[in-house]
Chain A
Amino acid sequence: MLTEFLQFLLSGITVGATYALVGVGFSIIYNASQVINFAQGEFVMLGGMMTWFLFDAAGLPLAVAVPLAIAGTVVVGVALEKFAIEPARNASIVTLIIITIGASIFLRGSAQLVWGRDFHAVPALSGDAPINLSGVALNPQSLWVVGSTLVVIVLLHWFFSRTMTGRAMRAVAFNRLAAQLAGVNNRRILMFSFGLSAALGALAGVLIAPITLTYPDVGIMLGLKGFCAAILGGLGYPYGAIVGGLIVGISEAMTAGYISSAYKDAVAFVIILLTLFFMPNGLFGRRGVERV
C-alpha cells in the first residue's frame, strides 16, 4: 500500500520536475514581454530530438550531445525572438502570442521533415537498472531529473537575485517603463529571456526523453502541462511554476495509479480550469497590492 503510494509519488515528482522547468520558461518570457510563448513545448522537443540525433545518428558521446542539443535549442529560441517576435514588437500581445503558436507549428513541422515522425529512444544518462529502495523501484534517470532541476533552481535564484541581468529582468517584469528609463535595454532582455527559456525547455527534454521517448509531437503535451504549472503557480512567478509543476506531476501520477492512466492527461486541464475559475492569479501570483 505504502510502497505503491511512494512509487506513484516518485514518478509524479520526476515528471513534475520537467513540467516545472517548462513552466519556469513560460514565466520568464511572460515577465519580459507579457507574451505566453506557445513554442515552449517545442524547445522541449528540440532538446530531446537533437540529443537523439547527435548521439544516435552522428555518433557523439552523450556528454557532448547533451550540451550541444541544449546550445542548439538556445540558438533556435534566440532566433525565434530575433526573427519572429522582434520585427512585430509594436504589435499587440495577442498578435505576438499567435506568432508563437505559428512558430510552434513551424518547429514541429520542420522536425518531422528533418527527422521523420518516428519515436526515438535516448539512453539514460547513467544506465537504467532500477535502484531498489525497500520495494520502491527508483529509475536512476529520476535522480538526474530531480537533481538537475534542483541545481537549476539554485542557479536561477542566484541569477535573479545577484546578477545585474537577473535584477534587470525582475525590474522589467514589474515596471517595463521605469526599467527602460534606468537604461535597461528591453529588447536585449527579451532576447535573453527566450534563450534562457529555450535552455530550460531543452534541459527538460533531454532529461525526460529516456523515460518517455522523443518524437516531433512530444512538445505539445509537455508544453501544455508546463503552461498548467505556470498558471497554477501564478504566471510570471518562476518559483510558483516549480511548485505548480510538482503539483501537476504528482496529481497526474496519482490519478494514473489509483484511477486510470486513461485520465492522466485530463488532470492538467482540470487543474488549469479550476485555477482560472477560483484563483486566476495562481497560488503565488501577484495580488496587485504592492503597486503604489
Chain B
Amino acid sequence: MLLEIQNLSAHYGRIRALDAVSLEIGEGELVSLVGANGAGKTTLLRVISGIGPVSAGRVMFDDRDITRLPADSRVRLGIVQVPEGRQVFAPMRVEENLLIGGYTRTAHERAEALARQYERFPALAAARDKPAGMLSGGQQQMLAVARALMGRPRLLLLDEPSLGLAPRLVDEVFDAVTSLRDSGVTVFLVEQNAFQALSIADRGYVMETGQVVLADTGKALLTNERVKAAYLGL
C-alpha cells in the first residue's frame, strides 16, 4: 500500500475530530472520501500532510511511519495537497505560484515540471505573468492543481476541488482528476459532491462524525442504500 492510515485519532482541544480511522490507498488508485461537513475529512487530509494534530494511531507511507514527520519533508516524499479553497498566492504571478509548488525540487526538475504544466494547462501559460488573484475561480483551481503537480506528487490529496465552482467547471475538475489518475498519479479525493466523487473513484470511503462507516468500490457505494439516502438525495 502507498498510504496506510492505522487507527488514527485526532483532537482539537477536547473535541474529537477523528476516531480510530483506518484506510488505505494503493499505488495508482483513485480513492474518494465522502461525508458531510464536519465529518473530519479535512482534518484527515491535514494529518496526512503533517499540519494536523494526531493523538493516536499511525500514518504509513510506502511502509514507512511518517506520523511525526514535518510537513515539508512529506512534500519531499511526494505527498502533496491541494488545499480547500485553492489558496493560491494571490499577489504573486502565476508562474511564481507554480515555481513555489516545485520548491522541494531542483532547479532543473522545476524548469521541466513548469514546461509540463504549461502544456497540460495552456490557460495558465497564457496568464503566466498575471497575479494569481486576477484569475477566475476555475483558473485558480487549475493553478492550485498545477502548483501541486509541480512537486511531482506520488500521492495527490485533493480537498473539495469542486467547491464554489460553476456546474460546468465542476465537470471539468472531475475530468481533470480522472485524467490525472490515468496518467499514473495516485489520487485521494475528498468531496462533498458524493455522486461525482464516487462515480470516478476506484474505491471510496464514507465518513461520519470522525469515523469511517463504509468502505467499498466506488460503484458499490453509489448503489448502497445508506449512501443513497444520506448523500445522494435519492
Contacts and interface: CB of A to CB of B under 8 A. Distances in A.
Contact of A184 (B49, B72, B81, B148): B72
A290 interface: yes
Contacts of A183: 71-72, 75-76, 80, 103-104, 151
A185 B100 CA distance: 12
A292 B83 CA distance: 14
Interface residues of B, number: 31
B195 interface: no
Given A171-B100, A177-B83, A185-B72, A292 B89 contact: no
Contacts, number: 77
A181 interface: yes
A167 interface: yes
Contact of A181 (B49, B92, B137): B49
Interface string A136-172: 0000000000000000000000000000100110110
B180 to A, nearest CB: 17
Interface in A176-220: 177-186
Contacts of A292: 86, 88, 90, 133, 137, 140
Q: Among A168, A177, A183, which residue has the most Cβ atoms of chain B within 10 A? A: A183
Contacts of B83: 177-178, 181
B147 interface: yes
Contacts of A178: 83, 87-89
Contacts of B100: 164, 167-168, 171, 179, 182, 184
Interface of B: 49, 51, 70-72, 75-76, 80-81, 83, 86-92, 96, 99-101, 103-104, 107, 131, 133, 137, 140, 147-148, 151
15 contacts: A167-B96, A168-B100, A170-B91, A179-B89, A180-B51, A181-B71, A182-B100, A182-B101, A182-B103, A182-B147, A183-B71, A183-B75, A290-B133, A291-B90, A291-B133
